[in-house]
């Protein structure tokens, strides 16, 4: 575990960041406005004063956090801490659950995505999601990827075919499925299905990809492949990953946020969070004292 952290900067390519881009004391990065100096980059997503309720039960308290573009942010915390609830706000999937209420502001490139003026379907095209359990459609591999294009109005067969191939390549699945595109996606292994779901999300060219515990149901080898993929994808996409697995957070993320009982306890560079957490509760959690 500690070896991992020593090599962490090299693995993550963090040593390439210009030091002047990191403003303020490292690890202390949320200013009073909630506009984090996330590696000195203009935040892709900003959450300001977000409260969220299931009925009368409050699930998130005053969440202020910013997400850097083309970086991986991991959200960690024990079960029921609100981490999945939080990322489902970012593409408004919470609206599928009746009786919820959201307060505060969530901005995507400065656009208020919570306002009724913002169309949820348009938002979800920009903010893709990969779920906890692989959920391919009961259709062929090809149709699974083509689906997102079709619902977004792409009719040109050649464009669709090219995008399917391209997405499967980006998701490191092409070699394994190129001869069976017409087969049912349900015949793939769990890990392959999850990469198919990633390819499906990539096909609609999102800007942000939310991963909600993407490896929760996968074996270590499949998990390794997904993690590799996430590191590849961050070149082009803003990635937010919810995970139970702290080693995973350490391996794939540039920044880490720790949630506990609906509160954001601490957010910062992943190495700092794991090597020198500021909050006692973060330390307790990452050292395995609870959770």
Phi, psi of 121 (to 5 degrees): -65, -40
Phi, psi of 143 (to 5 degrees): -60, -35
Which stretch in 88-96, 156-164, 219-227, 244-252 sits in contact with other proteins by CB under 8 A? 88-96
Q: Does 189 bind other proteins (CB under 8 A)?
A: no
Question: Are 52 and 59 in contact, with CB atoms under 8 Å apart?
Answer: yes
Q: Does 151 bind other proteins (CB under 8 A)?
A: yes
Distance (Å, whole) CA 154 – CA 63? 37
State the DSSP H helix or E strand holding residue 251, giving kind and residue range, or none if neither.
Answer: helix 246-252
Distance (Å, whole) CA 1 – CA 9? 14
Q: Does 220 bind other proteins (CB under 8 A)?
A: no
Q: Does 98 bind other proteins (CB under 8 A)?
A: yes
* Residues between 3 and 22 with contacts to other proteins, criterion CB under 8 A: none
Q: Which is nearer to other proteins, 92 or 255 (CB)?
A: 92
DSSP output for 64-80 = EEEE-TTSEEEEE-STT
Q: Does 150 bind other proteins (CB under 8 A)?
A: yes
Q: Which is nearer to other proteins, 22 or 154 (CB)?
A: 154
Question: Are 129 and 84 in contact, with CB atoms under 8 Å apart?
Answer: no
Selected from 71, 124, 234, 251, the binder of other proteins by CB under 8 A is 124
Q: Which is nearer to other proteins, 206 or 268 (CB)?
A: 206
* Residues between 237 and 256 with contacts to other proteins, criterion CB under 8 A: none
Strands (E), the chain: 45-54, 57-67, 72-76, 100-108, 111-112, 127-130, 208-212, 238-242, 255-260, 263-269
Q: Does 125 bind other proteins (CB under 8 A)?
A: yes
Nearest of 258, 264, 276, 270 to residue 75 by alpha carbon: 258
Distance (Å, whole) CA 213 – CA 158? 34
Q: Which residue has the tokens 């939080």?
A: 86
CB of 155 to other proteins, least distance (A): 14
DSSP-based three-state secondary structure for 214: coil
Q: Which is nearer to other proteins, 39 or 131 (CB)?
A: 131
Which stretch in 166-174, 182-190, 235-243, 248-256 sits in contact with other proteins by CB under 8 A? 182-190
CB of 40 to other proteins, least distance (A): 31
Q: Which is nearer to other proteins, 212 or 227 (CB)?
A: 212
Distances 42 to 46, 230, 281 between C-alpha atoms, Å: 10, 21, 29
Which stretch in 22-30, 133-141, 231-239, 243-251 sits in contact with other proteins by CB under 8 A? 133-141
Selected from 67, 131, 142, 274, the binder of other proteins by CB under 8 A is 131
Distance (Å, whole) CA 20 – CA 162? 41
CB of 66 to other proteins, least distance (A): 23
The pair of three-digit structure tokens given for residue 179, joined into one six-digit string: 């001869």
Please give the residue ranges that form the binding site for other proteins (CB under 8 A): 91, 93, 96, 98, 120-122, 124-125, 128-129, 131, 133, 135-139, 147-148, 150-152, 183-184, 186-187, 197, 200-201, 204
């Amino acid at each position: 575990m500690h070896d991992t952290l020593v090599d962490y900067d090299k693995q993550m390519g963090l040593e390439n960041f210009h030091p002047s881009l990191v403003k303020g004391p490292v690890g202390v990065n949320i200013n009073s406005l909630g506009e984090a100096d996330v590696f000195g980059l203009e935040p892709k997503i900003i959450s300001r004063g977000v409260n969220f309720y299931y009925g009368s039960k409050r699930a998130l308290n005053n969440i202020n956090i910013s997400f850097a573009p083309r970086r991986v942010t991991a959200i960690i915390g024990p079960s029921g801490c609100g981490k999945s609830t939080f990322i489902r706000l970012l593409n408004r999937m919470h609206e599928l659950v009746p009786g919820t209420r959201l307060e505060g502001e969530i901005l995507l490139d400065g656009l208020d995505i919570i306002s009724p003026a913002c169309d949820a379907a348009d938002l979800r095209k920009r903010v893709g999601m990969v779920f906890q359990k692989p959920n391919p459609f009961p259709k062929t591999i090809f149709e699974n990827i083509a689906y997102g294009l079709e619902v977004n109005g792409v009719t040109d067969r050649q464009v669709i075919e090219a995008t399917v191939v391209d997405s499967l390549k980006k998701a490191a699945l092409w070699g394994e499925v190129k001869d069976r595109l017409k087969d049912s996606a349900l015949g793939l292994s769990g890990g392959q299905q999850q990469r198919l779901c990633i390819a499906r999300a990539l096909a609609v060219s999102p800007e942000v990809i939310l991963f909600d515990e993407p490896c929760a149901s996968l074996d270590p080898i499949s998990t390794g492949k997904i993690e590799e993929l996430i590191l590849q994808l961050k070149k082009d996409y803003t990635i937010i990953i919810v995970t139970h697995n702290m080693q995973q957070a350490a391996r794939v993320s540039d920044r880490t946020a720790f949630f506990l009982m609906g509160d954001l306890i601490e957010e910062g560079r992943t190495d700092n969070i794991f090597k020198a957490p500021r909050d006692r509760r973060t330390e307790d959690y990452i050292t395995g004292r609870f959770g």
